[in-house]
Amino acid sequence: MYIESLKYRDETWDLQNADTKAYTHCFHTYPAMMIPQIARKLLKEYGIKDGWLLDPYCGTGTSLVEASLFGMHSVGCDINPLVRLIATAKSTPICLSTLDKTVSKLNEHLFQIEFRDSKIPDAPIPNILNLEYWFSEESIKYLAYLRDWINKVEDETVRNFMWVAFSETVREVSYTRNGEFKLYRMPAEKLGSFKPDVFGIFSKKLSRNRNGLATFLEKQKNVEVSVSDANTVQGELPLPRPLGGYDIVITSPPYGDSHTTVAYGQYSRLAAEWIGLPNARKIDKLAMGGQHSKEILRDSPISPAIDKIRFVDEKRAREVSAFYIDLGRSINSIAQVLSPRATVCYVVGNRRVKEVMLPTDEFVVDAFHQYGFTHKATIVRNIPNKRMPKKNSPSNIAGETATTMHEENIVICQRPTHTWQ
């Protein structure tokens, strides 16, 4: 049951001047990332040393990294293979001497190409639809060489580390517009002057990430970390499953369906295709609310808002309903693997659709209440440094925009032992 008096604003959670890129958190940009300080504060309050953390929508692995620093084992799930790769690289110990030898060898090759041979060796170019639309001929050759080189790295942990730097490089040297999550090409007048230093960008990413990794390895505890492709919406349960269940969930689910909020799949598509990851063009359809449904959510805290949207736009109401139906199914799966004294922490945004506010925080509380959880608190925080679209279209009419959410809610629920057998 949602108790309004348990919802309050706490400015100490705004974390305006926080360094969000320490440790391996520096590895890769990604839309709407939960900042590490939130997971850190929640672990300090509710974490259990040597216990188990679950993040069912782990993205690039913020919670997993923080669990490793705190001293909890962790499992993260995500349907996007690119972010699973990033989360794995961020949370996996690597032998620094092996990494340094491999990077040094690569840098020697790059130096030879740039300053002596002056000709890029031929390398296989992946079969990517409209590749020349998104990349210059020179960038394609340089990326193909890096891709071929990384593919030959024998050590899997080192190879994954290098793929992460490569992925971010792909995004930066492409013709995509800066600051956009969806795939939009930069204006034609800018294409001629856009000549990115592919090798230089890649080398800087490697160096930055290596420094972050070194600090992570110094502070990381001896714990297990696993990244899973389990889709909890479909009833798939994450593995490994600890005896007695997971002790805490720290997660930030999507704010809504990818089509109308953050297009995670579009953001990661080009890099995923270059690396050769599966389903690169299907992520947004596979995400929560990605499939059209005729079902309408009933008897939920979100239902009155959906009814208001339906009065204006029936199609949008069904899209919104589909997202929350999927979120509810996911929570049903998650509740099955939690310990009798588990704490659930969901960082959610109450977005607006057709100028109607959707109380996602109340939906999460109600969904977990059905499995014996009680509402402990909802902390409202401003989001000064979260990478989000600045504006969206409330009406889908060209030129009409509205600002996106500027705050989010940290929903905390707990389940007393006697309510769950």
The predicted-structure confidence for 224-258, as pLDDT tens digits, reads as follows 999 999 999 999 999 999 999 999 999 999 988 86
The SS3 assignment for 236 reads coil
The pair of three-digit structure tokens given for residue 157, joined into one six-digit string: 């942990």
The predicted-structure confidence for 154-211, as pLDDT tens digits, reads as follows 999 999 999 999 999 999 999 999 777 788 999 999 998 999 999 999 999 999 999 9
pLDDT, position 385? 58
Q: How many CB atoms lie within 10 A of CB 203?
A: 18
Check: CATH 3.40.50.150 for 4-85+223-262+281-419? yes
- Residues linked to residue 181 through DSSP beta bridges, in sequence order: none
With b meaning 16 or more CB within 10 Å and e meaning fewer, what string describes 44-65? eebbbeebbbbbbbbbbbbbbb
Instruction: Please give the DSSP secondary-structure letter assigned to residue 50.
Output: T
The SS3 assignment for 235 reads coil
Kind plus residue range of the DSSP H or E element containing 266? helix 264-275
Q: Which residues of the chain have pLDDT under 70?
A: 117-118, 258, 384-405, 417-421
- Asked if the bond preceding 359 is cis, omega within 30° of 0, the reply is no
Opening angle at CA 327, ends 351 and 84, nearest 5 = 95
Domain boundaries, the chain: 4-85+223-262+281-419, 96-217
pLDDT, position 265? 84
- Lookup result for tokens 């160096």: 207
pLDDT, position 397? 47
Q: Residue 385: what are its φ and ψ, rounded to 5°? A: -130, 20
Which residues are CB-neighbours of 197 under 8 A, at least 6 positions away? none
CA 16, CA 8: separation in Å to the nearest integer? 18
Q: What's the one-letter identity of residue 311?
A: F
Q: How many residues does the chain have?
A: 421
The SS3 assignment for 42 reads helix
The pair of three-digit structure tokens given for residue 414, joined into one six-digit string: 């707990």
Helix axes 303-312, 314-335, angle to 10 degrees: 160
The DSSP code sequence of 274-291 is HHT-TTTTTHHHHSTT-S
The pair of three-digit structure tokens given for residue 332, joined into one six-digit string: 């049903």
Is residue 77 a contact partner of residue 56, using CB atoms and an 8 Å limit? yes
What's this model's pTM, rounded to 2 decimal places? 0.92
pLDDT, position 117? 66
- With a pLDDT cut of 70, the percent of the chain lying above it is 92
pLDDT, position 82? 97
- 320: closest CA among 292, 348, 346? 292
- Lookup result for tokens 């071929």: 148
